[in-house]
Structure 1
């Protein structure tokens, strides 16, 4: 014990312990960062092709080194998932300088999108594209029910309880999610585009993200047993429909009674 206590008082003890802690933390960070695995899996040719596509289509706003400019944010650290979502849904490249990027026809094929994602991913660690097993919907009723609960708790306040979308402030909006692929729902939750918060895998697990996407697919494909869905926007649109119909019926009755009296 005395020998150990003496070593603890050695002038270099603090330095050794600090270096050891840095090695452990650095090693754990390297092992647990998913984007590095994706970057390593991407071939040099894909990264180079992605860089060429980036320079031709993205650098004008995001900078030659993706460092960002006054016209666009930096892409260093956004990861492959962000690129796959933004380009894969047609939001990028931007068609106009609006408060929010709109989805539109995609301008690149899957190979080109993967190459641009590989280039951005190797710039710095960031969220990776979800594994193939999470890019498909599940038809398990219990998991769809779980997705329903998770969506209502975390997303319905902006996207509506059935994912039909809704208005936000300053010209922005929460888009309709019923026709969005499972992969893009997952990536949106992982990267937080526009005004959306980030839900990393510690907040909502990969399987739970898939459950949410499956619920949205379910409500988007199921028929409306009550008749017209009226956009599935809830009691406001339904009440407006009934009110407008009632007013028209009353006006029609008044016109009919007036014609009978004359």
Structure 2
């Protein structure tokens, strides 16, 4: 009994229990995260997609991102960014980069849908990362009311309450979300492009992202029932319009009045 009691009080016993607890906790968290993300992700790439994607990457992207997408002084590593990041950046024309600046500008796509898929397949093969979302979360049939609340809490401070975009610091900006496809909206939320934070499933669930997309497409379809929205920038644009229009009318009236008296 004395020997057994000494073993229980051995200093390494506490450390062993602590390590075991950390391993169990980390394992359970990893499993839960994987299951949660799997609900909104698809991975349907063949070996040919990866092979062709590597060729496209070497010819068009390796100059900045390095061979094997390991990164360089001109561009970050893409290992582990996932297929969703590639599909968003290439699918919106932001990549390949047009010029160095505060952030990448949207422009016409340089690759077609099949080539974009192949590039995404290659980058996805380099390391685990967010995958392209499945169609069930992109159908626009979520709850627009819930989506509007989530958008105003998490997104409106940058993108404007009407999703019209807005200015940030040092020449950066949050783009308008009008006309952006549901897939690219979802991918932006899970990858955090440019200055945008990442909204993983722990922050906003896949169903919540679906609701946000539904809200955005609802206000896009409704337009501006009150008339000209002046960019939906609020009192700044409205005040500027009133100042310019009002001042212009005063000047025009003054000119007309003085011409009449002469």
Structure 2 residue 73 is the aligned partner of structure 1 residue 74 = no
Structure 2 residue 204 is the aligned partner of structure 1 residue 201 = no
Corresponding residue for residue 218 of structure 1: 218
Q: Do the aligned partners of 2:138 and 2:213 also contact (CA within 8 Å) in 1?
A: no
TM-score w.r.t. the length of structure 1 is 0.86
Runs of 4 or more consecutive aligned structure 1 residues displaced over 3 Å after TM superposition: 1-35, 38-41
CA distance in 2, matches of 1:71, 1:158: 27
- Superimposed CA distance per residue, residues 120-157 of structure 1 (whole angstroms, 9 cap, x where no aligned partner): 1121221111112112322x5xx111111111111111
Please give the residue correspondences for 1:171-190 in structure 2 after superposition, counting only pairs within 5 Å.
Answer: 171-190=171-190
Query: Aligned with 2:178: secondary structure?
Result: coil
CA distance in 1, matches of 2:208, 2:174: 21
Shift of 1:74: 0.7
How many pairs align? 258
Please give the residue correspondences for 1:98-247 in structure 2 after superposition, counting only pairs within 5 Å.
Answer: 98-138=101-141, 143-247=143-247
- Superimposed CA distance per residue, residues 208-229 of structure 1 (whole angstroms, 9 cap, x where no aligned partner): 1121122122222213222212
Please give the residue correspondences for 1:26-41 in structure 2 after superposition, counting only pairs within 5 Å.
Answer: 29=30, 32-33=33-34, 41=44
CA distance in 2, matches of 1:18, 1:44: 39
Shift of 1:109: 2.0
Q: Do the aligned partners of 1:130 and 1:183 also contact (CA within 8 Å) in 2?
A: yes
Corresponding residue for residue 45 of structure 1: 48
Alpha-carbon RMSD across the aligned residues, in angstroms, is 2.9
- Superimposed CA distance per residue, residues 37-88 of structure 1 (whole angstroms, 9 cap, x where no aligned partner): x797522222112111111111110010111101001101111111111111
Corresponding residue for residue 259 of structure 2: 259
Q: What runs of 5+ residues in structure 2 fail to find an aligned partner?
A: none
Query: Aligned with 1:92: secondary structure?
Result: coil
CA distance in 2, matches of 1:122, 1:223: 41
CA distance in 1, matches of 2:25, 2:12: 19
CA distance in 2, matches of 1:236, 1:253: 25
Q: Do the aligned partners of 1:178 and 1:219 also contact (CA within 8 Å) in 2?
A: no
- Superimposed CA distance per residue, residues 20-42 of structure 1 (whole angstroms, 9 cap, x where no aligned partner): 9648845863685458xx79752
Corresponding residue for residue 54 of structure 1: 57
Shift of 1:9: 6.6
Query: Aligned with 2:69: secondary structure?
Result: coil
CA distance in 1, matches of 2:178, 2:186: 13
CA distance in 2, matches of 1:56, 1:84: 18
Q: Do the aligned partners of 1:39 and 1:118 also contact (CA within 8 Å) in 2?
A: no
Shift of 1:244: 1.2
Q: Do the aligned partners of 2:42 and 2:132 also contact (CA within 8 Å) in 1?
A: no
Larger deviation, residues 198-207 vs 8-17? 8-17
TM-score w.r.t. the length of structure 2 is 0.86
